[in-house]
Structure 1
Amino acid sequence: MMFMSAIPPLNGSNYGIWREKLEMALALSDNDLALTSPCPIEPMDQVRKENEADVAFATRRRKHAIVIMKYNLDHAKLDSSNHKCLIVIKSSIEDPIRGAIPKCTTATEYLKKVESHFTCSSKAYASTLIKRLVKEKYNGGGIREHILRMSNTSSNLKPMDMGLKDEFLVHLIFASLPKEYETFVVNYNLQPEKWDIEKLIAMCVQEEERLKSSHGDTINHVNSSKLQEKAPQNDHHQKFNNVKVDKDTCKWCKKKGHHQKD
């Protein structure tokens, strides 16, 4: 029940995360047999061959009985798993969506029907992810977190058969780095070795530390102490501040014994 409660209800805009959490919950609860294994094929009945001896035929039938027993056990396990999967899948879908999905006898077929309802949504989601990857820019906060964030965005494309190769993702990440990393990127392009994401993270973190030490730990960070232009004072306020009066005299009412600020 703990695994099942972690499945977010399918509401039309979260198909990707719903499918991922659903498969994870069914796998961890050991109920995903119907989704991972094909339906067993029923063995054909044994037919006595021409001129086959009684002993030989009896031996073949005994061996065949073991095959039949294994088929019955596998079929029973698959039926039980299929029944549980259908219950879990249907219970994790909101009523308006569940009512639009036709009845199916197997969990695999039911999931395909659900997937077909969200093909267009998946395309739109994939387009959003691709745009995010192309426009992503590093603005500080840790180069490791930036790379992992882009890598996670790329991994979300894989369930939709739009996964990016590591080599292409590496170049997208390089394109998202600021000008301080230009020499670092040029050096990578000049060497024959190709990096994977793990190697990229290690080398970028090393380069980030080098840049921080050479720039006084201010790389890619806005200086919060930067002077800002002061807003001009109110003309009326300046007028009275420029009035010349005697000591201990208010510039506002011209009386002694107090000041304008009081």
Structure 2
Amino acid sequence: MAGTSSSSNASTGGYSLMGYIKDILTLKGDNYEEWKRELDLAFILGEVDWVLTTPCPIEPAEIFRGEKESDAEWQKRERDNASLIMSYDIEHAKWSSANKNCLAAVKNTIEPTILGSIPEYDTVSKYLESIKSQFTGSSKFYATQLIKQLVTERYHGGGVKDHILRMSNMACKLKQKDLGISDDFLVHLVLSSLPKNFDNLVVNYKISTENWNIEELISNCVQEEERLKETNGGSFNLVKDKEKSHRSPSSKEKQPQHLPQKQQFTVETKSVSPLQEDKTFQERSS
């Protein structure tokens, strides 16, 4: 029984497929090819890739006895049909489970803002075809996602060179769709995507009369990152630095926390008044 249960889970996806989802990239628009490659690998390892090419089993048609059909012939056909129905029930349950698991896996690896724009389909194969049509070829939706990704991209660590190359790759894809941007504009976008650690580099570029190309931008940014690492003992936390910069406005909002001190000061000021009145009274009495 244990062997049968294990085989059933493997053929329909079950827990095995869910274990691979965490390793799949989130589909954001510009990473469709890499996302699809990792998704296909997860389906293969989860042993459910067959559902992408296997259509939903068709239920056997209802049979009727012929007018001239003998009892023996009819009984034989009934037995054969019962066998077909049993086979259909098993295959349909297996297919439905695998299809459901794969659909859930696909939707779980898509960015929510993109997920809402994808039409719903009953089969994972049609659902994936719809996604492919939006993120390949001359799709306007794909171009829009690329532009949004490029403009909102931010560096959160992992190597500034890879970050710049990733943004440059987005720009190249836009150029292929006749939506190319100039190298100067791309340089400004990259510099705008860097955290506050790189402010000195950004300022130096702005006051300089020279314009960098992508190669020069990469070289200067890598040098600056290495300098920052040396200054901070070999490493530094970019995300933490950005969080600090985001806390500065909230520190103003937290000023009311100092109110108890002001109230205490006010109370102390009022407590002096009776002493002054008592002193004045004594002077008048003398």
Q: TM-score range by the shorter chain?
A: 0.3 to 0.5
The TM-score with structure 2 as length reference comes to: 0.41
